[in-house]
A and B are shown apart, each in its own frame.
Chain A
Amino acid sequence: MTIWIIEDKCDGCRRCIKACPYEGIEIKDGIASVTERCTSCGACIEACKKKNAIESDIEPRKIPDFSDRQGVWVFAEQTDGKLARVCLELLGKAQDLAKDMGHKVSAVLLGKDVSHLIQTLHDHGAQNVYLVEDDLLKNFRTIAYTNVIEDLVLTYKPNILLMGATALGRDLAPRVSRRVGTGLTADCTQLAIDPDEKLMFQTRPAFGGNVMATIACKYASPQMATVRPGVMEAAPCKLENPTLIRHKISLKEQDIRTKILERVTQKKPGTDIIDANVIVAGGRGVNGEQGFAMLKELADILGGELACTRLIIEQGILPHDAQVGQTGKTIRPEIYIACGISGAVQHTAGMTGSRYIIAINNDPLAPIFKLANWGIVGDVHEIVPEFIKQLSCGGAS
Chain B
Amino acid sequence: MREVDLAVVGAGPAGLTAAIEGAKRGCRTVVLDMNPRPGGQLIKQIHRFFGSREHRAGTRGIEIADSLFHEAASAGVEVMVEAEVYAIHDSTLEVVAQTNEDSLVLLSEEATTSRSRPLSIAARRIILATGGAENALNFAGWTLPGVMGAGAAQTMINLWRVLPGKKILMVGAGNVGLIISYQLIQAGGEMVAVIEATSRIGGYGVHAAKISRAGVPILTSHTIISASGESRVERAVIAKVDASWRIVSGSEQELEVDTICIAVGLHPNARLASLAECELCYSPSLGGWVPIHNSRMETTISGIYIAGDLSGVEEASTALEEGRLAGICAAASLGKERAGDYDDIKAIEGRLLGLRSGPFCQHRQDAKQELIGIGEAQCPKQ
- A and B physically associate: no
| Chain A interface residues (CB < 8 Å from chain B) | none
